[in-house]
Structure 1
Protein backbone atom coordinates (compact mmCIF):
# COMPACT_ATOMS: atom_id res chain seq x y z
CA UNK A 1 0.00 0.00 0.00
CA UNK A 2 1.30 3.45 -0.91
CA UNK A 3 -0.08 6.75 0.19
CA UNK A 4 -0.62 7.95 -3.37
CA UNK A 5 -2.39 4.80 -4.58
CA UNK A 6 -5.83 5.12 -6.15
CA UNK A 7 -8.70 2.73 -6.57
CA UNK A 8 -8.78 1.38 -10.13
CA UNK A 9 -11.13 3.46 -12.25
CA UNK A 10 -12.30 5.67 -9.41
CA UNK A 11 -9.68 8.39 -9.12
CA UNK A 12 -10.23 8.30 -5.35
CA UNK A 13 -6.97 8.00 -3.46
CA UNK A 14 -6.33 6.04 -0.29
CA UNK A 15 -5.67 9.41 1.35
CA UNK A 16 -9.11 10.68 0.28
CA UNK A 17 -10.82 7.58 1.70
CA UNK A 18 -8.89 7.95 4.93
CA UNK A 19 -9.81 11.62 5.26
CA UNK A 20 -13.49 10.83 4.75
CA UNK A 21 -13.35 8.10 7.39
CA UNK A 22 -11.57 10.47 9.77
CA UNK A 23 -14.39 12.99 9.35
CA UNK A 24 -16.94 10.25 9.98
CA UNK A 25 -15.11 9.23 13.14
CA UNK A 26 -15.11 12.82 14.37
CA UNK A 27 -18.87 13.09 13.81
CA UNK A 28 -19.92 9.76 15.31
CA UNK A 29 -17.77 7.95 17.83
CA UNK A 30 -18.48 6.68 21.31
CA UNK A 31 -16.89 6.59 24.73
CA UNK A 32 -18.30 3.39 26.26
CA UNK A 33 -17.28 4.30 29.81
CA UNK A 34 -19.82 7.13 29.79
CA UNK A 35 -22.12 6.20 26.86
CA UNK A 36 -23.34 2.99 28.49
CA UNK A 37 -25.27 2.83 31.74
CA UNK A 38 -23.24 0.13 33.43
CA UNK A 39 -25.32 0.30 36.60
CA UNK A 40 -28.66 -0.44 34.91
CA UNK A 41 -30.16 -3.73 36.17
CA UNK A 42 -30.13 -6.76 33.90
CA UNK A 43 -33.54 -8.07 32.84
CA UNK A 44 -34.35 -11.47 34.31
CA UNK A 45 -36.48 -12.56 31.33
CA UNK A 46 -34.22 -11.58 28.42
CA UNK A 47 -31.49 -13.44 26.59
CA UNK A 48 -27.94 -12.26 25.97
CA UNK A 49 -28.00 -13.76 22.47
CA UNK A 50 -31.29 -14.40 20.63
CA UNK A 51 -32.26 -18.05 21.28
CA UNK A 52 -32.43 -18.83 17.55
CA UNK A 53 -28.73 -17.84 17.30
CA UNK A 54 -27.64 -20.28 19.98
CA UNK A 55 -25.42 -23.11 18.78
CA UNK A 56 -27.80 -25.64 20.39
CA UNK A 57 -31.10 -24.11 19.27
CA UNK A 58 -33.40 -26.80 17.86
CA UNK A 59 -31.26 -29.74 18.99
CA UNK A 60 -32.50 -32.56 21.24
CA UNK A 61 -30.38 -31.08 24.02
CA UNK A 62 -32.08 -27.71 23.63
CA UNK A 63 -35.48 -29.34 24.03
CA UNK A 64 -34.31 -30.96 27.28
CA UNK A 65 -32.86 -27.77 28.76
CA UNK A 66 -34.77 -25.69 31.29
CA UNK A 67 -35.55 -22.06 30.49
CA UNK A 68 -32.93 -21.02 33.03
CA UNK A 69 -30.31 -23.17 31.30
CA UNK A 70 -31.19 -21.55 27.98
CA UNK A 71 -30.76 -18.08 29.48
CA UNK A 72 -27.44 -19.16 30.98
CA UNK A 73 -26.22 -20.64 27.68
CA UNK A 74 -26.98 -17.32 25.97
CA UNK A 75 -24.99 -15.54 28.69
CA UNK A 76 -21.99 -17.82 28.16
CA UNK A 77 -22.17 -17.56 24.36
CA UNK A 78 -22.34 -13.76 24.59
CA UNK A 79 -19.24 -13.69 26.77
CA UNK A 80 -17.52 -16.12 24.41
CA UNK A 81 -18.18 -13.77 21.46
CA UNK A 82 -16.82 -10.80 23.41
CA UNK A 83 -13.76 -12.74 24.58
CA UNK A 84 -12.92 -13.69 21.00
CA UNK A 85 -13.44 -10.06 19.99
CA UNK A 86 -10.89 -8.90 22.55
CA UNK A 87 -8.32 -11.46 21.36
CA UNK A 88 -8.71 -10.37 17.76
CA UNK A 89 -8.70 -6.62 18.36
CA UNK A 90 -5.56 -7.04 20.45
CA UNK A 91 -3.86 -8.81 17.50
CA UNK A 92 -5.11 -6.17 15.04
CA UNK A 93 -3.77 -3.31 17.15
CA UNK A 94 -0.36 -4.97 17.46
CA UNK A 95 -0.19 -5.43 13.68
CA UNK A 96 -1.27 -1.86 12.93
CA UNK A 97 1.34 -0.43 15.29
CA UNK A 98 4.15 -2.52 13.79
CA UNK A 99 3.16 -1.42 10.29
CA UNK A 100 3.19 2.27 11.19
CA UNK A 101 6.97 2.31 11.60
CA UNK A 102 7.11 2.00 7.79
CA UNK A 103 4.46 4.68 7.11
CA UNK A 104 4.58 8.46 7.00
CA UNK A 105 3.51 9.91 10.37
CA UNK A 106 1.78 12.80 8.55
CA UNK A 107 -0.34 10.72 6.14
CA UNK A 108 -4.11 10.60 6.51
CA UNK A 109 -3.84 6.82 6.24
CA UNK A 110 -1.69 6.82 9.36
CA UNK A 111 -4.07 9.22 11.09
CA UNK A 112 -6.96 6.87 10.35
CA UNK A 113 -5.04 3.80 11.51
CA UNK A 114 -4.34 5.64 14.79
CA UNK A 115 -8.05 6.46 15.03
CA UNK A 116 -8.89 2.80 14.48
CA UNK A 117 -6.39 1.83 17.17
CA UNK A 118 -8.24 4.12 19.57
CA UNK A 119 -11.60 2.65 18.55
CA UNK A 120 -10.36 -0.90 19.09
CA UNK A 121 -8.85 -0.04 22.47
CA UNK A 122 -12.22 1.35 23.58
CA UNK A 123 -13.97 -1.73 22.20
CA UNK A 124 -11.72 -4.00 24.24
CA UNK A 125 -12.53 -1.94 27.32
CA UNK A 126 -16.25 -2.03 26.48
CA UNK A 127 -16.21 -5.81 25.99
CA UNK A 128 -14.29 -6.29 29.23
CA UNK A 129 -16.73 -4.10 31.16
CA UNK A 130 -19.67 -5.99 29.62
CA UNK A 131 -18.19 -9.35 30.62
CA UNK A 132 -17.65 -8.02 34.14
CA UNK A 133 -21.22 -6.69 34.25
CA UNK A 134 -22.89 -9.96 33.28
CA UNK A 135 -20.81 -11.81 35.87
CA UNK A 136 -19.18 -14.53 33.77
CA UNK A 137 -15.50 -15.45 33.51
CA UNK A 138 -14.07 -14.63 30.07
CA UNK A 139 -12.89 -17.40 27.77
CA UNK A 140 -9.21 -16.62 27.75
CA UNK A 141 -6.37 -18.28 25.78
CA UNK A 142 -3.66 -20.03 27.77
CA UNK A 143 -0.54 -22.01 26.99
CA UNK A 144 -0.13 -22.85 23.29
CA UNK A 145 -3.36 -21.07 22.41
CA UNK A 146 -2.04 -17.82 23.90
CA UNK A 147 1.24 -18.22 22.04
CA UNK A 148 -0.60 -18.75 18.74
CA UNK A 149 -2.68 -15.61 19.33
CA UNK A 150 0.49 -13.59 19.98
CA UNK A 151 2.25 -15.06 16.94
CA UNK A 152 -0.55 -14.04 14.57
CA UNK A 153 0.20 -10.37 15.19
CA UNK A 154 3.64 -10.89 13.59
CA UNK A 155 2.17 -12.58 10.51
CA UNK A 156 -0.46 -9.99 9.61
CA UNK A 157 1.22 -7.52 7.23
CA UNK A 158 0.07 -5.56 4.17
CA UNK A 159 -2.71 -7.34 2.25
CA UNK A 160 -2.61 -10.21 4.77
CA UNK A 161 -3.54 -7.71 7.50
CA UNK A 162 -6.60 -6.48 5.59
CA UNK A 163 -7.77 -10.03 4.86
CA UNK A 164 -7.30 -10.96 8.53
CA UNK A 165 -9.13 -7.80 9.59
CA UNK A 166 -12.14 -8.70 7.47
CA UNK A 167 -12.19 -12.33 8.62
CA UNK A 168 -12.06 -11.10 12.20
CA UNK A 169 -14.52 -8.21 11.84
CA UNK A 170 -17.12 -9.03 9.19
CA UNK A 171 -18.35 -12.32 10.64
CA UNK A 172 -18.82 -10.75 14.07
CA UNK A 173 -20.37 -7.67 12.47
CA UNK A 174 -23.02 -9.75 10.68
CA UNK A 175 -23.82 -11.68 13.86
CA UNK A 176 -24.11 -8.45 15.83
CA UNK A 177 -26.49 -6.99 13.26
CA UNK A 178 -28.59 -10.14 13.58
CA UNK A 179 -28.68 -9.64 17.36
CA UNK A 180 -29.92 -6.07 16.84
CA UNK A 181 -32.58 -7.22 14.37
CA UNK A 182 -33.89 -9.76 16.89
CA UNK A 183 -33.45 -7.36 19.79
CA UNK A 184 -36.87 -7.70 21.44
CA UNK A 185 -35.74 -10.77 23.38
CA UNK A 186 -32.25 -9.43 24.12
CA UNK A 187 -30.85 -7.57 27.12
CA UNK A 188 -30.74 -3.75 26.66
CA UNK A 189 -27.06 -3.80 27.68
CA UNK A 190 -26.27 -6.23 24.88
CA UNK A 191 -28.15 -4.11 22.35
CA UNK A 192 -26.22 -0.99 23.37
CA UNK A 193 -22.84 -2.72 23.16
CA UNK A 194 -23.70 -4.17 19.75
CA UNK A 195 -24.98 -0.82 18.44
CA UNK A 196 -21.76 0.99 19.36
CA UNK A 197 -19.56 -1.74 17.92
CA UNK A 198 -21.49 -2.06 14.65
CA UNK A 199 -21.41 1.71 14.08
CA UNK A 200 -17.66 2.04 14.48
CA UNK A 201 -16.72 -1.26 12.84
CA UNK A 202 -18.48 -0.21 9.64
CA UNK A 203 -15.67 2.30 9.05
CA UNK A 204 -12.98 -0.26 9.87
CA UNK A 205 -14.49 -2.72 7.40
CA UNK A 206 -14.62 -0.07 4.67
CA UNK A 207 -10.95 0.81 5.28
CA UNK A 208 -9.87 -2.85 5.11
CA UNK A 209 -11.91 -3.56 1.98
CA UNK A 210 -10.44 -0.50 0.28
CA UNK A 211 -6.93 -1.70 1.17
CA UNK A 212 -7.57 -5.11 -0.37
CA UNK A 213 -9.10 -3.70 -3.57
CA UNK A 214 -6.06 -1.49 -4.08
CA UNK A 215 -3.46 -4.17 -3.36
CA UNK A 216 -4.96 -7.16 -5.14
CA UNK A 217 -3.98 -6.07 -8.66
CA UNK A 218 -0.30 -5.71 -7.77
CA UNK A 219 0.10 -9.06 -6.01
CA UNK A 220 2.46 -11.69 -7.39
CA UNK A 221 0.74 -14.94 -8.45
CA UNK A 222 2.25 -16.71 -5.43
CA UNK A 223 1.09 -14.09 -2.92
CA UNK A 224 -2.34 -13.94 -4.54
CA UNK A 225 -2.68 -17.73 -4.21
CA UNK A 226 -1.62 -17.59 -0.56
CA UNK A 227 -4.05 -14.81 0.29
CA UNK A 228 -6.88 -16.53 -1.56
CA UNK A 229 -6.46 -19.76 0.37
CA UNK A 230 -4.92 -19.10 3.79
CA UNK A 231 -7.96 -17.20 5.07
CA UNK A 232 -9.80 -20.54 5.01
CA UNK A 233 -7.92 -21.45 8.19
CA UNK A 234 -10.21 -19.00 9.97
CA UNK A 235 -13.17 -21.33 9.39
CA UNK A 236 -11.87 -24.05 11.69
CA UNK A 237 -10.75 -21.48 14.25
CA UNK A 238 -14.24 -19.98 14.41
CA UNK A 239 -15.97 -23.36 14.60
CA UNK A 240 -13.69 -24.56 17.40
CA UNK A 241 -14.24 -21.44 19.47
CA UNK A 242 -17.96 -21.03 18.80
CA UNK A 243 -18.57 -24.60 20.02
CA UNK A 244 -15.93 -25.03 22.74
CA UNK A 245 -16.76 -27.77 25.26
CA UNK A 246 -16.19 -25.51 28.26
CA UNK A 247 -19.04 -23.31 27.07
CA UNK A 248 -21.54 -26.13 27.57
CA UNK A 249 -19.95 -27.50 30.70
CA UNK A 250 -20.55 -24.16 32.42
CA UNK A 251 -24.28 -24.68 31.82
CA UNK A 252 -24.20 -28.17 33.36
CA UNK A 253 -24.27 -30.07 30.07
CA UNK A 254 -22.11 -32.92 28.82
CA UNK A 255 -19.49 -30.91 26.94
CA UNK A 256 -18.62 -33.55 24.35
CA UNK A 257 -22.24 -34.36 23.49
CA UNK A 258 -23.27 -30.70 23.38
CA UNK A 259 -20.35 -29.93 21.09
CA UNK A 260 -21.30 -32.84 18.81
CA UNK A 261 -24.91 -31.68 18.54
CA UNK A 262 -23.93 -28.04 18.01
CA UNK A 263 -21.55 -28.87 15.17
CA UNK A 264 -24.21 -30.98 13.46
CA UNK A 265 -26.98 -28.44 14.06
CA UNK A 266 -28.55 -27.12 10.80
CA UNK A 267 -30.01 -24.12 12.66
CA UNK A 268 -26.53 -23.10 13.78
CA UNK A 269 -25.12 -23.75 10.30
CA UNK A 270 -27.62 -21.18 9.01
CA UNK A 271 -26.34 -18.65 11.57
CA UNK A 272 -22.77 -19.33 10.42
CA UNK A 273 -23.70 -18.84 6.77
CA UNK A 274 -25.42 -15.56 7.60
CA UNK A 275 -22.26 -14.39 9.34
CA UNK A 276 -20.04 -15.26 6.38
CA UNK A 277 -22.29 -14.26 3.47
CA UNK A 278 -21.13 -10.66 2.98
CA UNK A 279 -17.45 -11.51 3.39
CA UNK A 280 -17.74 -14.50 1.08
CA UNK A 281 -19.33 -12.34 -1.63
CA UNK A 282 -16.57 -9.74 -1.28
CA UNK A 283 -13.77 -12.31 -1.49
CA UNK A 284 -15.38 -13.78 -4.59
CA UNK A 285 -15.71 -10.30 -6.11
CA UNK A 286 -12.00 -9.47 -5.68
CA UNK A 287 -10.85 -12.92 -6.79
CA UNK A 288 -9.58 -14.02 -3.39
CA UNK A 289 -11.76 -17.05 -2.72
CA UNK A 290 -9.40 -19.88 -3.59
CA UNK A 291 -10.47 -23.52 -3.95
CA UNK A 292 -8.78 -24.62 -0.73
CA UNK A 293 -10.32 -21.78 1.26
CA UNK A 294 -13.74 -22.48 -0.22
CA UNK A 295 -13.50 -26.12 0.87
CA UNK A 296 -12.45 -25.11 4.38
CA UNK A 297 -15.31 -22.64 4.80
CA UNK A 298 -17.77 -25.22 3.44
CA UNK A 299 -16.43 -27.98 5.67
CA UNK A 300 -17.07 -25.78 8.72
CA UNK A 301 -20.56 -24.85 7.43
CA UNK A 302 -19.92 -21.17 6.66
CA UNK A 303 -20.70 -21.79 2.99
Structure 2
Protein backbone atom coordinates (compact mmCIF):
# COMPACT_ATOMS: atom_id res chain seq x y z
CA UNK A 1 0.00 0.00 0.00
CA UNK A 2 1.35 3.43 -0.92
CA UNK A 3 2.21 5.90 1.79
CA UNK A 4 -0.03 8.90 2.42
CA UNK A 5 2.58 10.76 4.49
CA UNK A 6 2.69 14.41 3.55
CA UNK A 7 6.20 15.56 2.84
CA UNK A 8 7.39 19.12 3.41
CA UNK A 9 7.26 21.54 0.53
CA UNK A 10 10.25 22.79 -1.45
CA UNK A 11 10.49 25.75 0.87
CA UNK A 12 11.91 23.35 3.41
CA UNK A 13 14.46 21.97 0.94
CA UNK A 14 16.98 24.64 -0.12
CA UNK A 15 18.56 23.78 -3.44
CA UNK A 16 22.31 23.87 -3.98
CA UNK A 17 22.62 24.76 -7.66
CA UNK A 18 25.50 24.88 -10.08
CA UNK A 19 27.34 28.03 -11.10
CA UNK A 20 24.75 28.56 -13.84
CA UNK A 21 22.00 28.36 -11.23
CA UNK A 22 23.72 30.87 -8.98
CA UNK A 23 23.96 33.28 -11.88
CA UNK A 24 20.18 33.31 -12.06
CA UNK A 25 19.33 30.80 -14.77
CA UNK A 26 15.77 30.03 -13.71
CA UNK A 27 15.24 27.05 -16.01
CA UNK A 28 18.48 25.41 -14.92
CA UNK A 29 17.60 25.83 -11.26
CA UNK A 30 14.19 24.31 -11.86
CA UNK A 31 15.70 21.32 -13.66
CA UNK A 32 18.01 20.75 -10.69
CA UNK A 33 15.10 21.05 -8.27
CA UNK A 34 13.04 18.51 -10.26
CA UNK A 35 15.99 16.10 -10.21
CA UNK A 36 16.14 16.33 -6.40
CA UNK A 37 12.47 16.57 -5.45
CA UNK A 38 9.84 14.97 -7.67
CA UNK A 39 7.04 12.50 -7.07
CA UNK A 40 5.38 9.55 -8.72
CA UNK A 41 1.70 9.79 -7.67
CA UNK A 42 1.15 6.17 -8.68
CA UNK A 43 3.26 5.08 -5.71
CA UNK A 44 3.19 8.11 -3.38
CA UNK A 45 -0.60 8.29 -2.99
CA UNK A 46 -2.52 5.66 -1.03
CA UNK A 47 -4.93 4.53 -3.72
CA UNK A 48 -5.76 1.19 -2.10
CA UNK A 49 -7.31 2.11 1.25
CA UNK A 50 -11.08 2.65 0.86
CA UNK A 51 -12.38 6.20 1.24
CA UNK A 52 -13.09 7.13 4.85
CA UNK A 53 -16.26 9.22 4.69
CA UNK A 54 -15.45 10.69 8.09
CA UNK A 55 -13.03 13.06 6.33
CA UNK A 56 -13.56 16.20 4.28
CA UNK A 57 -12.33 16.53 0.71
CA UNK A 58 -11.12 20.08 1.37
CA UNK A 59 -10.85 22.45 4.31
CA UNK A 60 -14.46 23.34 5.20
CA UNK A 61 -13.58 27.05 5.25
CA UNK A 62 -12.98 26.82 1.49
CA UNK A 63 -16.43 25.44 0.78
CA UNK A 64 -18.59 27.71 -1.35
CA UNK A 65 -21.35 27.41 1.29
CA UNK A 66 -19.21 27.86 4.42
CA UNK A 67 -20.65 30.62 6.60
CA UNK A 68 -24.08 30.61 4.97
CA UNK A 69 -27.44 29.82 6.56
CA UNK A 70 -27.57 26.65 4.45
CA UNK A 71 -24.19 25.50 5.78
CA UNK A 72 -25.41 25.88 9.36
CA UNK A 73 -28.38 23.64 8.58
CA UNK A 74 -26.26 20.82 7.15
CA UNK A 75 -25.21 17.82 9.19
CA UNK A 76 -21.51 17.08 9.51
CA UNK A 77 -21.94 14.17 7.11
CA UNK A 78 -23.52 16.48 4.51
CA UNK A 79 -20.75 19.05 4.93
CA UNK A 80 -18.10 16.40 4.41
CA UNK A 81 -19.83 15.05 1.31
CA UNK A 82 -20.13 18.57 -0.10
CA UNK A 83 -16.42 19.32 0.38
CA UNK A 84 -15.54 16.00 -1.24
CA UNK A 85 -17.66 16.86 -4.28
CA UNK A 86 -16.22 20.39 -4.41
CA UNK A 87 -12.65 19.08 -4.18
CA UNK A 88 -13.36 16.65 -7.02
CA UNK A 89 -14.78 19.50 -9.12
CA UNK A 90 -11.69 21.63 -8.52
CA UNK A 91 -9.52 18.66 -9.52
CA UNK A 92 -11.54 18.14 -12.70
CA UNK A 93 -11.19 21.81 -13.62
CA UNK A 94 -7.46 21.45 -12.92
CA UNK A 95 -7.24 18.63 -15.44
CA UNK A 96 -9.04 20.73 -18.05
CA UNK A 97 -6.68 23.65 -17.61
CA UNK A 98 -3.56 21.49 -17.34
CA UNK A 99 -4.40 20.09 -20.78
CA UNK A 100 -4.60 23.66 -22.10
CA UNK A 101 -1.32 24.51 -20.37
CA UNK A 102 0.51 21.51 -21.81
CA UNK A 103 -0.50 22.41 -25.35
CA UNK A 104 0.48 26.07 -24.98
CA UNK A 105 3.90 25.25 -23.53
CA UNK A 106 4.58 22.56 -26.13
CA UNK A 107 3.62 24.93 -28.94
CA UNK A 108 5.87 27.62 -27.45
CA UNK A 109 8.99 25.43 -27.51
CA UNK A 110 8.13 23.51 -30.72
CA UNK A 111 10.92 24.94 -32.92
CA UNK A 112 13.38 26.00 -30.20
CA UNK A 113 16.75 24.52 -29.28
CA UNK A 114 16.03 21.24 -27.42
CA UNK A 115 19.47 21.37 -25.79
CA UNK A 116 18.60 24.63 -23.99
CA UNK A 117 17.60 24.62 -20.34
CA UNK A 118 14.38 26.47 -21.18
CA UNK A 119 13.14 23.75 -23.54
CA UNK A 120 14.27 20.91 -21.30
CA UNK A 121 12.51 22.50 -18.35
CA UNK A 122 9.36 23.05 -20.44
CA UNK A 123 9.31 19.34 -21.33
CA UNK A 124 9.86 18.46 -17.67
CA UNK A 125 6.93 20.66 -16.69
CA UNK A 126 4.69 19.02 -19.29
CA UNK A 127 5.65 15.58 -17.92
CA UNK A 128 4.76 16.71 -14.39
CA UNK A 129 1.45 18.13 -15.58
CA UNK A 130 0.59 14.82 -17.25
CA UNK A 131 1.16 13.02 -13.95
CA UNK A 132 -0.89 15.65 -12.11
CA UNK A 133 -3.83 15.18 -14.47
CA UNK A 134 -3.85 11.43 -13.92
CA UNK A 135 -3.47 11.97 -10.17
CA UNK A 136 -6.41 14.40 -10.08
CA UNK A 137 -8.56 12.02 -12.12
CA UNK A 138 -7.87 9.11 -9.79
CA UNK A 139 -8.41 11.36 -6.76
CA UNK A 140 -11.80 12.58 -7.99
CA UNK A 141 -12.81 9.00 -8.73
CA UNK A 142 -11.83 7.88 -5.23
CA UNK A 143 -13.85 10.77 -3.76
CA UNK A 144 -16.90 9.22 -5.38
CA UNK A 145 -17.51 12.04 -7.82
CA UNK A 146 -18.54 12.06 -11.48
CA UNK A 147 -16.30 13.66 -14.15
CA UNK A 148 -17.17 17.33 -13.70
CA UNK A 149 -16.60 19.46 -16.82
CA UNK A 150 -16.83 23.20 -17.52
CA UNK A 151 -19.82 24.46 -19.47
CA UNK A 152 -19.73 23.76 -23.20
CA UNK A 153 -19.15 27.45 -23.97
CA UNK A 154 -16.17 27.58 -21.60
CA UNK A 155 -14.74 24.35 -23.02
CA UNK A 156 -14.90 25.78 -26.54
CA UNK A 157 -13.44 29.09 -25.36
CA UNK A 158 -10.56 27.13 -23.86
CA UNK A 159 -10.08 25.38 -27.18
CA UNK A 160 -9.67 28.77 -28.88
CA UNK A 161 -7.43 30.14 -26.11
CA UNK A 162 -4.99 27.23 -26.21
CA UNK A 163 -4.74 27.62 -29.97
CA UNK A 164 -4.15 31.36 -30.22
CA UNK A 165 -2.63 32.44 -26.89
CA UNK A 166 1.12 32.96 -26.96
CA UNK A 167 3.93 34.68 -25.08
CA UNK A 168 3.02 36.61 -21.97
CA UNK A 169 -0.72 36.00 -22.44
CA UNK A 170 -0.21 32.25 -22.23
CA UNK A 171 2.23 32.30 -19.31
CA UNK A 172 0.34 34.90 -17.26
CA UNK A 173 -2.90 32.92 -17.63
CA UNK A 174 -1.05 29.78 -16.57
CA UNK A 175 0.22 31.67 -13.54
CA UNK A 176 -3.24 32.85 -12.48
CA UNK A 177 -4.70 29.34 -12.61
CA UNK A 178 -1.76 27.84 -10.72
CA UNK A 179 -1.59 30.54 -8.04
CA UNK A 180 -5.28 30.35 -7.13
CA UNK A 181 -5.16 26.57 -6.80
CA UNK A 182 -1.85 26.73 -4.92
CA UNK A 183 -3.24 28.86 -2.10
CA UNK A 184 -6.23 26.57 -1.60
CA UNK A 185 -4.15 23.42 -1.60
CA UNK A 186 -1.60 24.75 0.88
CA UNK A 187 -4.45 24.98 3.38
CA UNK A 188 -5.91 21.60 2.47
CA UNK A 189 -2.64 19.66 2.65
CA UNK A 190 -2.04 20.77 6.28
CA UNK A 191 -5.61 20.17 7.46
CA UNK A 192 -6.06 16.90 9.36
CA UNK A 193 -9.80 17.06 8.73
CA UNK A 194 -9.07 16.39 5.04
CA UNK A 195 -8.74 12.80 3.80
CA UNK A 196 -5.08 11.69 4.00
CA UNK A 197 -4.84 10.68 0.34
CA UNK A 198 -6.22 14.09 -0.69
CA UNK A 199 -3.62 15.80 1.50
CA UNK A 200 -0.90 13.81 -0.24
CA UNK A 201 -2.27 14.81 -3.67
CA UNK A 202 -2.33 18.45 -2.60
CA UNK A 203 1.20 18.30 -1.25
CA UNK A 204 2.56 16.78 -4.47
CA UNK A 205 0.82 19.43 -6.52
CA UNK A 206 2.00 22.31 -4.31
CA UNK A 207 5.63 21.16 -4.39
CA UNK A 208 5.80 20.65 -8.13
CA UNK A 209 3.61 23.62 -9.09
CA UNK A 210 5.91 25.94 -7.14
CA UNK A 211 8.45 25.29 -9.89
CA UNK A 212 5.86 25.86 -12.62
CA UNK A 213 4.86 29.20 -11.10
CA UNK A 214 8.47 30.38 -10.97
CA UNK A 215 8.84 29.53 -14.66
CA UNK A 216 5.55 31.27 -15.56
CA UNK A 217 6.56 34.42 -13.69
CA UNK A 218 9.98 34.44 -15.31
CA UNK A 219 8.56 33.90 -18.79
CA UNK A 220 5.89 36.57 -18.30
CA UNK A 221 8.52 39.13 -17.32
CA UNK A 222 10.81 38.17 -20.21
CA UNK A 223 8.06 38.27 -22.85
CA UNK A 224 6.90 41.69 -21.66
CA UNK A 225 10.32 43.31 -21.98
CA UNK A 226 9.95 46.11 -24.45
CA UNK A 227 6.22 45.53 -24.93
CA UNK A 228 4.32 48.65 -25.92
CA UNK A 229 1.08 49.94 -24.34
CA UNK A 230 -1.24 48.46 -26.98
CA UNK A 231 0.25 44.98 -26.60
CA UNK A 232 -0.01 45.21 -22.81
CA UNK A 233 -3.63 46.34 -23.00
CA UNK A 234 -4.59 43.44 -25.29
CA UNK A 235 -2.76 40.80 -23.28
CA UNK A 236 -4.02 42.14 -19.96
CA UNK A 237 -7.57 41.80 -21.23
CA UNK A 238 -7.03 38.28 -22.64
CA UNK A 239 -5.45 37.07 -19.37
CA UNK A 240 -8.25 38.58 -17.28
CA UNK A 241 -11.00 36.97 -19.37
CA UNK A 242 -9.24 33.59 -19.27
CA UNK A 243 -8.78 33.92 -15.50
CA UNK A 244 -12.45 34.75 -14.99
CA UNK A 245 -13.65 31.61 -16.77
CA UNK A 246 -11.05 29.39 -15.09
CA UNK A 247 -11.91 30.54 -11.57
CA UNK A 248 -15.69 30.56 -12.07
CA UNK A 249 -15.52 27.03 -13.49
CA UNK A 250 -13.77 25.53 -10.47
CA UNK A 251 -16.92 24.45 -8.64
CA UNK A 252 -19.51 22.89 -10.91
CA UNK A 253 -23.14 23.59 -10.01
CA UNK A 254 -23.84 19.84 -10.03
CA UNK A 255 -21.78 19.35 -6.85
CA UNK A 256 -24.76 20.46 -4.75
CA UNK A 257 -27.22 17.95 -6.16
CA UNK A 258 -24.57 15.21 -6.02
CA UNK A 259 -24.05 16.02 -2.34
CA UNK A 260 -27.79 15.63 -1.76
CA UNK A 261 -28.54 19.36 -1.43
CA UNK A 262 -31.15 21.63 -2.95
CA UNK A 263 -29.21 22.82 -5.99
CA UNK A 264 -31.22 26.01 -6.56
CA UNK A 265 -30.91 27.18 -2.98
CA UNK A 266 -27.26 26.19 -2.73
CA UNK A 267 -26.40 28.12 -5.90
CA UNK A 268 -28.15 31.23 -4.63
CA UNK A 269 -26.42 31.16 -1.25
CA UNK A 270 -23.02 30.32 -2.76
CA UNK A 271 -23.33 33.25 -5.18
CA UNK A 272 -24.02 35.64 -2.28
CA UNK A 273 -21.42 34.13 0.07
CA UNK A 274 -19.20 37.01 1.20
CA UNK A 275 -16.95 34.68 3.20
CA UNK A 276 -15.95 32.73 0.11
CA UNK A 277 -15.44 35.92 -1.89
CA UNK A 278 -13.16 37.22 0.86
CA UNK A 279 -11.16 33.96 0.85
CA UNK A 280 -10.62 34.27 -2.90
CA UNK A 281 -9.55 37.92 -2.68
CA UNK A 282 -7.11 37.40 0.19
CA UNK A 283 -5.55 34.38 -1.54
CA UNK A 284 -4.78 36.43 -4.65
CA UNK A 285 -3.06 39.45 -3.12
CA UNK A 286 0.43 38.33 -4.14
CA UNK A 287 -0.74 37.42 -7.62
CA UNK A 288 -2.38 40.80 -8.12
CA UNK A 289 0.80 42.54 -6.98
CA UNK A 290 2.74 40.64 -9.64
CA UNK A 291 0.23 41.49 -12.36
CA UNK A 292 0.30 45.14 -11.28
CA UNK A 293 4.11 45.21 -11.37
CA UNK A 294 3.93 43.74 -14.88
CA UNK A 295 1.39 46.45 -15.86
CA UNK A 296 -1.25 43.85 -16.62
CA UNK A 297 -3.90 45.28 -14.29
CA UNK A 298 -5.57 47.61 -16.75
CA UNK A 299 -9.04 49.02 -16.14
CA UNK A 300 -10.83 46.48 -18.41
CA UNK A 301 -8.83 43.64 -16.82
CA UNK A 302 -9.72 44.81 -13.31
CA UNK A 303 -13.40 44.53 -14.15
CA UNK A 304 -13.04 40.80 -14.83
CA UNK A 305 -10.89 40.17 -11.75
CA UNK A 306 -13.50 41.91 -9.60
CA UNK A 307 -16.30 39.84 -11.15
CA UNK A 308 -14.34 36.71 -10.24
CA UNK A 309 -13.73 38.10 -6.72
CA UNK A 310 -9.96 37.94 -7.17
CA UNK A 311 -9.49 41.58 -6.20
CA shift at 1:15, angstroms?
Answer: 8.5
Aligned residues: 292
Instruction: Report matched runs for 1:1-303 at 5 Å.
Output: 16-141=25-150, 143-181=152-190, 183-238=191-246, 240-303=248-311
Distance 2:211 2:82 in 1: 31
Structure-1 separation of matches of 2:203 and 2:70: 31
Comparing 203-212 with 150-159, greater Cα deviation is found at 150-159
Alignment RMSD (CA, Å):
2.1
Rounded Cα–Cα distance in structure 2 between residues aligned with 1:274 and 1:138: 29
- Tell me the residue number matched to 1:4: none
| Structure 2: gaps spanning 5 or more residues | 1-19
**Distance change in 2, residues 1:47/1:177 (3 Å):** same
Displacement of 1:105 in angstroms is: 1.8
TM-score (norm 2): 0.88
The answer on whether the counterparts of 2:38 and 2:208 sit within 8 Å (CA) in structure 1 is: yes
Structure-2 change in CA distance of 1:15 and 1:116 (3 Å): farther
Unaligned runs of at least 5 residues, structure 1: 1-10
Give the Å deviation of 1:135.
1.9
* Counterpart Cα distance in 2 of 1:20 and 1:118: 17
Whole-angstrom CA distance in 2 between matches of 1:36 and 1:191 = 9
Bigger mean CA deviation after superposition, 218-227 or 163-172: 218-227
What residue in structure 1 maps to residue 8 of structure 2?
none
Is the deviation greater in 225-234 or in 43-52?
A: 225-234
Q: Distance in 1 between matches of 2:235 and 2:132?
A: 27
Output the CA distance in 2 between the equivalents of 1:300 and 1:18.
32
The offset of 1:71, in angstroms, is 1.0
- SS of alignment partner, residue 284 of structure 2: helix
Normalization by structure 1: what TM-score? 0.90
